[in-house]
């Protein structure tokens, strides 16, 4: 008996799903394109929520457990929404030797947010990077997509405070 | 394209270039880009246009020029004259630089002296085009002899001849372990199959290493050519580049390069009108250090969790989707075209007895000149640190050099005169690794460094085998206790025992080498551990010797 595949529709009519759908189709909805598909969802939505994981599982005919397993295995994927602003602190060896840990500690003291978390008000996410490959500029951070070289705590914190104030 | 067509394209492009007497090269690799070198390029172009210089002058986007700590870097090449390199260039300097070109006098305050050991002591094979050509231009690559090795191999050599050149070259895998490339290709070639895969491992996960990224960003066609040659030599017909998603610029340039090469008939079906067909696809990594392990990388390309499998079967027998697969590192592949062009014997004439050719290092940490360097195998660490690297800043003294990232070790000053090659580094308790080289000064705390790497291995452990999953966690706990001054002598003994257990019983390279940073710091800086557990110890130097 041939089962008629039901049409699986995206979780919402958000236009961004069309882009994700293109990625899925380009790879023939094959299971081995799971990582590519998750990259596409995260690129457009910023993170992977439960609905997205369910949808991807259904579209690629994979068990949800497998999709969840892959999404949680790789550090690049995040299952939580990011704050309005992001500050990525490079934690590669060169940056570590040159004081990245102090940056992280000082951010924690000022904003009460740990690495990988978002402030209560959803304003700022502090993320760690294994290595930005900007070792010549250590310690390096990326604030809202802009790389900053040879950073010290004081300038970084006042910059982050500035971001919050700009929005207020 | 046939070899004749390639020659014509190169010739034409060179003639075109020669019509422009001045070339301004702006470094557009990630390091300088983060310091706004893209804007510098724009303002330079604008300044040239406004000025309407009498001689034609062209601004060119090129890859990494090496000395990242002095970035953004700009180089002015005038025909018949020495090149002038400018450092720490800002947007405001553009008009002055353009003015200096027509005046024929360099802007003294920005000049970066290139007659210093940083530049003079390097020997470039892998990086020969890096910083010279525009990574987004196929013609540029062809004009410096690009794809001529592929043309030569397809027209004049059998796959076995290509393999024997590579074998004769003595090239060893640059990903870290140093397995002879010729041997790997031979194993792959012996396995008959309709479908075989070549994978380029560009998932540079070692924190503190950026060599592969610089090559991919600066000279992407070199990698494609290397992959095509590897495919021809081993009978593969499909290739994947497995690249970190964290390298958007490298991905963009690589994609563009694949598109251009395919359009020119240098990739795809019936390359150069022969029976050889080869295509390349890009697969993105998603941030897992363990995917440096061949079997884990294969699982990741198949869309699964990147967990390693026991070997055998080796990937050369049963790899991606069960087909014979050969995985080579970016730098390894970048060495192939010169080997085919100039012969294995030429390559084997460089380096030491068992380690041939050159090695690219990413020099970083507490050192004056940070950046990308390529040196012949056999150079001493002292030459790298004090001549090329320019020594330690702030008048502090050298303490250790870390090679091989989380799988490597820290070497103290008495190893400074050691010749750098695979075997010497291994005997000293570190490894060559992929080429990250971090310098530490007297202020660096070695126990803390060991803890840093253990934390890395703990969070990167894939969790499949117990020695690695539980062992790294326990070792991190012990290191944490010792580093915080709460450790005991028993903790230290347990730590040492665990190191051996984890190294001997883990499934893959990650676990097997995870204890290396601890073992090497215990071997050379044991007194720092003892200081922290409050033990009375014999003076440092004697303590170090006794620990061996």
Query: What is the predicted pLDDT for the residue at B54?
Result: 65
CA B183 remoteness from chain centre: 22
Query: What is the predicted pLDDT for the residue at A1?
Result: 45
B374 to chain A, any CB pair closer than 8 A? The answer is no
Residue B411 lies in a domain: yes
* Predicted confidence (pLDDT) per residue in A59-104, tens digit: 999 999 999 999 999 988 999 888 889 899 988 888 888 889 999 9
Average pLDDT, chain A: 88
Residue B523 lies in a domain: yes
Helix (H, G, I), strand (E, B), or coil: what is residue B360? Answer: strand
Structure tokens at B225: 């050519």
Residue B328 lies in a domain: yes
Query: Do A149 and B34 count as a contact with CB atoms less than 8 A apart?
Result: yes
Query: What is the predicted pLDDT for the residue at A166?
Result: 72
- Residue B524 has phi, psi (to 5 degrees) of -105, -20
Query: What is the predicted pLDDT for the residue at B68?
Result: 85
Q: What is the mean pLDDT of residues A119-130?
A: 87
Please, is B314 exposed, middle or buried when counting C-beta atoms within 10 Å of its C-beta (0-12, 13-18, 19+)?
A: middle
Query: What is the predicted pLDDT for the residue at A138?
Result: 82
Note if the bond before B312 is cis, omega within 30 degrees: yes
Contacts of B304 in chain A (CB under 8 A): 34, 66, 70
Structure tokens at B128: 């020969």
Whether residues B85 and B152 share a domain: the answer is no
Chain B nearest-CA distance from A5, in A, is 23
Instruction: Give the dihedral sign, CA B178/B181/B182/B187.
Output: positive
Place of tokens 């027998």: B317
Q: Which residue in A has a C-alpha nearest to residue B248's C-alpha?
A: A132
**Which of B27, B207, B394 best tests the A interface by mutation, with the highest count of A CBs <10 A?**
B207
Query: What is the predicted pLDDT for the residue at A13?
Result: 87
Whether residues B51 and B200 share a domain: the answer is no
Whether residues B493 and B452 share a domain: the answer is yes
Whether residues B226 and B327 share a domain: the answer is yes
Contacts of A34 in chain B (CB under 8 A): 303-304
* Predicted confidence (pLDDT) per residue in B29-52, tens digit: 888 888 889 999 999 999 888 877
- Whichever domain contains B401, its CATH number is 3.10.20.600
* Predicted confidence (pLDDT) per residue in B478-516, tens digit: 999 999 999 999 999 999 999 999 999 999 999 999 999
Domain that holds residue B39: 19-116
With a pLDDT cut of 70, the percent of chain B lying above it is 97
Query: What is the predicted pLDDT for the residue at B541?
Result: 43
Please, is A165 exposed, middle or buried when counting C-beta atoms within 10 Å of its C-beta (0-12, 13-18, 19+)?
A: exposed
Q: What is the mean pLDDT of residues A10-19?
A: 91
Whether residues B152 and B272 share a domain: the answer is yes
Query: Do B370 and A136 count as a contact with CB atoms less than 8 A apart?
Result: yes
Whether residues B194 and B248 share a domain: the answer is yes
Number of domains in chain B: 4
Q: What is the mean pLDDT of residues B218-238?
A: 97
Query: What is the predicted pLDDT for the residue at A5?
Result: 52
Query: What is the predicted pLDDT for the residue at B535?
Result: 61
Contacts of B300 in chain A (CB under 8 A): 35
Contacts of B204 in chain A (CB under 8 A): 133
> How far is the C-alpha of B463 from the C-alpha of B468, rounded, in Å?
7
Whether residues B325 and B414 share a domain: the answer is no
Whether residues B328 and B420 share a domain: the answer is no
> How far is the C-alpha of B256 from the C-alpha of B224, rounded, in Å?
11
Note if the bond before B121 is cis, omega within 30 degrees: no
What are the CA-CA distances from residue A45 to residues A41, A52, A82, B185 (Å)? 6, 9, 10, 42
Whether residues B419 and B307 share a domain: the answer is no
Q: Is the pLDDT of residue B544 over 70?
A: no
Query: Do A136 and B284 count as a contact with CB atoms less than 8 A apart?
Result: no
Residues facing residue B164 across a β-bridge: none
Q: What is the mean pLDDT of residues B431-452?
A: 92
* Predicted confidence (pLDDT) per residue in B326-382, tens digit: 999 999 999 999 999 999 999 999 999 999 999 999 999 999 999 899 999 999 999
Whether residues B431 and B506 share a domain: the answer is no
Helix (H, G, I), strand (E, B), or coil: what is residue B323? Answer: coil
Whether residues B458 and B431 share a domain: the answer is no
- Specify the pTM: 0.92
Q: For residue A110, what are the contacts with CB-CB under 8 A and spacing of at least 6?
A: A157, A160, A161
Q: What is the mean pLDDT of residues B89-108?
A: 89
Point out the domain boundary residue: B348, B382, B409.
B348
Point out the domain boundary residue: B438, B471, B486.
B438
Residue B139 lies in a domain: no
Query: What is the predicted pLDDT for the residue at A167?
Result: 64
Residue B229 lies in a domain: yes
Q: Is the pLDDT of residue B409 over 80?
A: yes
- Whichever domain contains B220, its CATH number is 3.40.50.11540
Query: What is the predicted pLDDT for the residue at A6?
Result: 62
Residue B136 lies in a domain: no
A129 to chain B, any CB pair closer than 8 A? The answer is yes
CB nearest B303 (choices: A33, A130, A147): A33
B40 near B72, Cβ under 8 Å?
yes
A52 to chain B, any CB pair closer than 8 A? The answer is no
Query: What is the predicted pLDDT for the residue at B232?
Result: 97
Structure tokens at B349: 């004439």
Query: Do B304 and A96 count as a contact with CB atoms less than 8 A apart?
Result: no
Point out the domain boundary residue: B348, B372, B392.
B348
Residue B14 lies in a domain: no
Strand order through the sheet with B111-112: B57-62, B22-27, B74-78, B84-86, B111-112
> How far is the C-alpha of B335 from the C-alpha of B357, rounded, in Å?
9
Q: Is the pLDDT of residue B393 over 70?
A: yes
Report which of B333, B108, B51, B95 is spatially closest to residue B212, judged by C-alpha positions. B333
Q: Is the pLDDT of residue B542 over 50?
A: no
Q: How many helices (H) and strands (E) does chain A have?
A: 7, 5
Whether residues B378 and B471 share a domain: the answer is no
* Predicted confidence (pLDDT) per residue in B78-89, tens digit: 888 888 999 999
**How many Cβ pairs closer than 8 A exist between chain A and B?**
130
Q: Which residue in B has a C-alpha nearest to residue A38's C-alpha?
A: B286
Residue B92 lies in a domain: yes
A136 to chain B, any CB pair closer than 8 A? The answer is yes
What are the CA-CA distances from residue B288 to residues A87, B77, B240, B306, B454 (Å)? 21, 42, 18, 7, 15
């Amino acid at each position: 008996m041939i089962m008629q595949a039901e049409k699986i529709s995206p979780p919402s009519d958000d236009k961004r799903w069309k882009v994700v759908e293109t990625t899925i189709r380009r790879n023939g909805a094959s299971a081995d394109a799971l990582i590519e598909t998750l990259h596409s969802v995260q690129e457009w939505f910023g993170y992977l929520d439960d609905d997205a994981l369910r949808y991807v599982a259904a579209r690629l005919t994979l068990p949800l457990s497998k999709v969840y397993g892959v999404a949680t295995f790789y550090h690049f994927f995040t299952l939580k929404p990011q704050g309005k602003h992001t500050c990525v602190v490079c934690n590669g060896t060169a940056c570590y030797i040159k004081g990245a840990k102090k940056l992280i500690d000082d951010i924690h003291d000022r904003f009460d947010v740990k690495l990988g978390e978002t402030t209560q008000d959803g304003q700022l996410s502090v993320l760690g990077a294994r290595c930005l490959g900007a070792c010549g500029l250590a310690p390096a951070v990326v604030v809202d997509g802009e790389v900053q070289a040879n950073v010290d705590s004081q300038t970084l914190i006042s910059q982050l405070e500035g971001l919050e104030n700009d929005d207020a | 394209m046939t070899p004749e067509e390639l020659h014509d394209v190169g010739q034409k492009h060179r003639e075109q270039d020669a019509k422009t007497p001045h070339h301004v090269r702006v470094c557009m690799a990630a390091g300088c880009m983060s310091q706004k070198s893209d804007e510098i390029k724009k303002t330079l172009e604008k300044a040239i246009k406004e000025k309407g210089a009498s001689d034609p002058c062209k601004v060119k986007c090129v890859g990494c020029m090496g000395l990242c700590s002095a970035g953004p870097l700009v180089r002015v090449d005038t025909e018949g004259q020495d090149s002038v390199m400018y450092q720490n260039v800002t947007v405001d300097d553009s008009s002055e630089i353009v003015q200096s070109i027509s005046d024929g006098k360099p802007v003294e305050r920005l000049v970066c002296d290139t007659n210093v050991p940083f530049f003079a002591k390097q020997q470039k094979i892998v990086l020969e085009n890096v910083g010279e050509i525009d990574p987004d231009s196929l013609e540029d690559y062809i004009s410096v002899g690009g794809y001529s090795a592929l043309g030569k191999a397809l027209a004049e050599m059998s796959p076995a001849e290509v393999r024997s050149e590579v074998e004769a070259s003595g090239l060893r895998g640059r990903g870290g372990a140093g397995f002879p490339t010729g041997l790997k290709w031979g194993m792959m070639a012996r396995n008959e199959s309709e479908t075989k895969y070549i994978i380029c491992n560009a998932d540079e996960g070692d924190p503190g290493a950026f060599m592969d990224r610089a090559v991919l960003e600066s000279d992407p066609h070199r990698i494609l050519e290397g992959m095509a040659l590897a495919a021809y030599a081993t009978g593969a017909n499909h290739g994947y580049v497995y690249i970190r998603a964290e390298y958007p610029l490298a991905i963009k340039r690589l994609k563009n390069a694949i598109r251009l090469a395919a359009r020119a008939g240098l990739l795809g079906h019936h390359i150069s009108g022969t029976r050889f067909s080869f295509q390349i696809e890009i697969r993105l990594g998603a941030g897992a250090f363990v995917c440096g392990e061949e079997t884990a990388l294969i699982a990741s390309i198949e869309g699964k969790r990147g967990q390693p499998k026991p070997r055998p079967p080796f990937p050369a027998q049963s790899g991606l989707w069960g087909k014979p697969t050969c995985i080579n590192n970016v730098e390894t592949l970048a060495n192939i075209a010169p080997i085919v062009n100039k012969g294995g014997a030429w390559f084997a004439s460089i380096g030491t007895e068992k380690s041939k050719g050159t090695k690219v290092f990413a020099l970083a940490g507490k050192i004056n000149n940070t950046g990308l360097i390529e040196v012949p195998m056999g150079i001493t660490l002292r030459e790298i640190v004090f001549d090329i690297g320019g020594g330690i800043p702030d008048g502090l003294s050298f303490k250790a050099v870390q090679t091989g990232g989380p799988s490597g070790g820290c070497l103290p000053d008495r190893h400074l005169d050691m010749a750098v090659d695979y075997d010497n580094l291994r005997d000293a308790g570190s490894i060559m690794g992929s080429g990250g080289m971090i310098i530490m000064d007297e202020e660096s705390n070695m126990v803390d460094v060991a803890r840093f790497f253990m934390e890395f291995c703990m969070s990167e452990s894939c969790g499949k085998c117990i020695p690695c999953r539980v062992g790294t966690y326990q070792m991190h706990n012990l290191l944490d206790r010792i580093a915080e001054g709460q450790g005991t002598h028993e903790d230290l003994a347990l730590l040492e025992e665990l190191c051996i257990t984890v190294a001997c019983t883990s499934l893959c390279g990650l676990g097997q080498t995870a204890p290396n940073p601890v073992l090497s710091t215990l071997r050379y800086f044991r007194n720092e551990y003892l200081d922290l557990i409050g033990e009375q110890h014999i003076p440092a130097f004697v303590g170090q010797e006794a620990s061996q």
